[in-house]
Structure 1
Amino acid sequence: MTPDTVMGELQAALTMALVIATPMLGMALVIGVVIGLLQAATQVNEPAIAFIGKLFALALVLAISGGWMLAQLVTFTTSLIQRIPSMLG
Structure 2
Amino acid sequence: MDQAVLFDSLRTAIWVAVQMSTPILGVALIVGLVIGLLQALTSIQEMTLTFVPKMLAILATFWVSMDFMTGALISLLHDTLLPTIARGF
Is the TM value for this pair above 0.5?
Answer: yes
Structure 2 spans left out of the alignment, 5+ residues? none
- TM-fit CA distance, 1:30: 0.3
Give TM-score, length-normalised by structure 2.
Answer: 0.89
- TM-fit CA distance, 1:87: 5.9
Q: How many residues align?
A: 88
Letter in 2 for 1:4: A
Give TM-score, length-normalised by structure 1.
Answer: 0.89
Determine which structure has greater relative contact order: mean sequence separation of CA pairs < 8 Å that are 6+ residues apart, divided by chain length: 2
Partner of 2:87: 86
CA distance in 2, matches of 1:81, 1:65: 24
List aligned pairs for 1:52-71, cutoff 5 A: 52-71=52-71
Q: Is contact 1:5–1:87 with CA below 8 Å preserved after alignment? A: no
CA distance in 2, matches of 1:6, 1:87: 12
Partner of 1:50: 50
Alignment RMSD (CA, Å): 1.3
Structure 1 spans left out of the alignment, 5+ residues? none
**What's the CA shift string for 1:6-52, capped at 9, x where partnerless?**
11111111100000000000000000000000000011112211110
